[in-house]
């Protein structure tokens, strides 16, 4: 009977030790970090960008929207002058909606700036989600038109 108790206690200790490390990230930056939702923006080809919101939490995350719009973005000159705002020239359906991101998954949106006919120079792209909670997960990236 004593052996059974000792094995049971050792089992609980081993389980506890295993759980203690389950929220750590790997050295390469992958893995789940409790409580973190991150945004990323990268240029996939000239003037084409990928905006991504990653759920690195241990729970599903739900975003609620008051229209069909999911993201907004602006383009500014290197002097800080806003020359384009996506939502000011685009119409959206007035319909409630939601997006759910499961644990370890992401939402991704493509932004194509070719139609803006930008002149040679340096610019700033700002992108954010437009959920009911307001401007969220804003990220900024500089880019150059040659």
pLDDT digits (tens, 9 = 90+) for 25-42: 333 344 455 679 999 999
DSSP class of residue 28?
T
Question: Could you tell me the pTM of the whole model?
Answer: 0.74
Handedness of CA 56, 61, 67, 68 (dihedral sign): positive
Q: How far is CA 124 from CA 21, 47, 55, 97, 118, in A?
A: 40, 12, 25, 29, 12
Check whether 11 has a pLDDT greater than 90: no
Stronger pLDDT, 134 or 76, i.e. the higher one? 76
Helix (H, G, I), strand (E, B) or coil at 110: strand
* Residue-level length of the chain: 146
Query: Percentage of the chain with pLDDT > 70?
Result: 77
Specify the pLDDT at position 133. 86
CA-to-CA distance for 100 and 83, rounded, in angstroms? 32
Helix (H, G, I), strand (E, B) or coil at 6: helix
Query: Percentage of the chain with pLDDT > 90?
Result: 73
The structural domains of the chain, ordered by start, are 32-145 (2.60.40.2360)
User: What mean pLDDT comes out for the span 114-138?
Assistant: 94
Which pair of tokens denotes residue 71?
């993201």
Range with the poorest average pLDDT among 12-16, 61-65, 112-116: 12-16
Specify the pLDDT at position 62. 94
Check whether 1 has a pLDDT greater than 80: no
Which pair of tokens denotes residue 140?
């900024």
CA-to-CA distance for 33 and 27, rounded, in angstroms? 12
Specify the pLDDT at position 92. 95
């Amino acid at each position: 009977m004593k052996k059974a108790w000792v094995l049971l206690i050792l089992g609980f200790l081993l389980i506890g030790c295993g759980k203690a490390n389950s929220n750590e990230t790997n050295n390469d930056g992958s893995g789940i970090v409790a409580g973190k939702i991150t945004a990323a923006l990268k240029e996939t080809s000239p003037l084409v960008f990928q905006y991504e919101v990653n759920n690195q939490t241990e729970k599903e995350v739900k975003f609620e929207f008051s229209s069909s719009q999911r993201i907004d973005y602006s383009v500014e000159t290197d002097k800080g002058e806003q020359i384009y705002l996506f939502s000011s020239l685009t119409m959206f359906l007035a319909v409630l909606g939601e997006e759910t991101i499961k644990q370890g998954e992401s939402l991704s949106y493509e932004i194509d700036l070719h139609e803006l006919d930008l002149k040679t120079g340096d610019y700033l792209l700002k992108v954010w989600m437009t959920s009911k909670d307001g401007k969220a997960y804003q990220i900024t990236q500089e880019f150059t038109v040659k």
